[in-house]
Amino acid sequence: MIDFEPTPEQKEAIKAAHQLAEELFRPISHYYDEHEHESPQEVIDKVWEKRQEGSLFLGLDTIAALRVEEACWGDAGLYLCLPTPGLGGAAIFATGTQEQLQRFLGNYNEGEPKWGAMAMTEAACGSDTSAISATAVRDGDEWVLNGEKIFVTAGKRAMENPDGVVVVWATVDKSAGRAGMKSFVVQAGTPGANVEKMEKKLGIRASDTITIVFDNCRIPYENILGSPEVRKIDKTKTAGFKKAMATFDATRPIVAAQALGVGRASLDFVKEVLEKEGIEIRYGLPRYKLSALERDVIDMEANYKAAKLLTLRAFWLMDQSLPNSLEASMAKAKAGLAVTKITQKAVEIMGPLGYSRKYLLEKWLRDAKINDIFEGTGQINMLVVARRILDYSREQLK
């Protein structure tokens, strides 16, 4: 028998994260949405205080997934401001050595705040990560990075806070194509790594999103994640590219969990309003006997629950050190699609209530879409899923 009832430990984690989201995030959610680029220091301080008491928003297991969902139920943008290693940390967890884990993330585990980011997207390179043009050239016992990265989530805090890290994707050999692509850790304060621009965004506005320019930025040779060797395995796979892409197996489930939080917030709001109006959802009846409203709400719930099960599966596999590439892309694709549909339908159902700035529902609609975009768009993840299931190469299915 399969049992989806949370364990006592999971229930405590959910309760603590939900309380923090409800009492700390929700009351100031509108303020930081309207005051983009203003740092929510009171949130950072309070969460770090809670972090000292217990391990909030840390790890890559199912409890971490549940905590992330609860935090984003409160506010997804504020969650991305928290002093955690973030997506950069997930990349180091996924591909770094034990020595690198200790060097870059050890102080966080020992009780020091840490911000992390991942710099991948370029002006001429979005979903096709193999087309990255930023370069890393070895010079003795250093790497010299040059290039520009855009849409770096949480990059400003990672670049400006002590012990912050940014994982940068660059090529060590353009002629080698995908085989030449590697990822590197750039630590905060490194000369030649400069914040050039802060984006004004549709959603997750509390979180900073920046452009970083690397101009002869020198980092230690040991800051490369994985092997520096440019080695082809066969015609369809390359060692460097495959290692770098393993990063997504860790980061995509995190984004899926973020989407779950936003989607559930919208769903909870709709059900709360309907309950106050005395409108009951009659579960268990055939669809043809249900009203259009009832069908919509049940479909929203089904999408949310399907996405959650896929997300928990991807986290569980990761926690067991089992391959989860297929499951990570499934979770990300489903969650990104589900949260977009749920929030849009919630606004439609609520009408003026959904469109009014008085309530957070319109904000959740704006916050939702990014989950279908970053860490691989929905279309890209659908392609990954199809290739894995059909055993097709990139060249066979584009």
Which CATH number covers residue 123?
Answer: 2.40.110.10
Using the 3D structure, point to which of 202, 225, 248 is the last residue of a domain: 225
At 6-44, the pLDDT tens digits run 888 888 888 989 999 999 999 999 999 999 999 999 988
* Residue 357 maps to a domain: yes
Same-domain status, 136 and 162: yes
* Residue 2 maps to a domain: no
In the predicted model, is pLDDT for residue 115 greater than 50? yes
- The C-alpha angle with vertex 67 and arms to 328 and 10, in degrees rounded to 5, equals 100
Q: Report the largest interatomic distance among the alpha carbons of the chain, rounded to a whole angstrom.
A: 73
Q: State the CATH number of the domain containing residue 337.
A: 1.20.140.10
* Residue 167 maps to a domain: yes
Alpha helices in the chain (DSSP H): 8-20, 26-34, 41-53, 62-74, 76-79, 86-95, 98-109, 155-160, 239-276, 292-319, 325-350, 352-355, 361-368, 378-390
Contact 325/381 with Cβ under 8 angstroms? Answer: no
Give the structural domain span for 17.
8-82
Same-domain status, 217 and 299: no
Start-to-end CA span in the chain (Å): 39
Give helix 292-319 / helix 62-74 axis angle, nearest 10°. Answer: 140
**pLDDT of amino acid 235:** 44
Using the 3D structure, point to which of 225, 259, 286 is the last residue of a domain: 225
* Residue 179 maps to a domain: yes
Higher pLDDT, 134 or 181: 134
The pTM for the full model equals 0.92
- How many other C-beta atoms are found inside a 10 Å radius of the C-beta of residue 314? 30
Same-domain status, 204 and 285: no
**pLDDT of amino acid 239:** 55
* Residue 157 maps to a domain: yes
Q: State the CATH number of the domain containing residue 57.
A: 1.10.540.10
Same-domain status, 143 and 67: no
Same-domain status, 201 and 246: no
At 200-233, the pLDDT tens digits run 999 999 999 999 999 999 999 999 997 776 655 4
In the predicted model, is pLDDT for residue 275 greater than 70? yes
In the predicted model, is pLDDT for residue 390 greater than 70? yes
Same-domain status, 215 and 254: no
How far is the C-alpha of 324 from the C-alpha of 330, rounded, in Å? 10
Q: Which two tokens stand for residue 366?
A: 């704006």
Task: Please state the domain count of the chain.
Answer: 3
In the predicted model, is pLDDT for residue 264 greater than 60? yes
- How many other C-beta atoms are found inside a 10 Å radius of the C-beta of residue 320? 10
Same-domain status, 247 and 359: yes
* Residue 100 maps to a domain: no
Where is average pLDDT lowest: 15-24, 170-179, 334-343?
170-179
Would you please indicate which residues are annotated as catalytic (active-site) residues? 375
Mean pLDDT throughout 277-287? 95
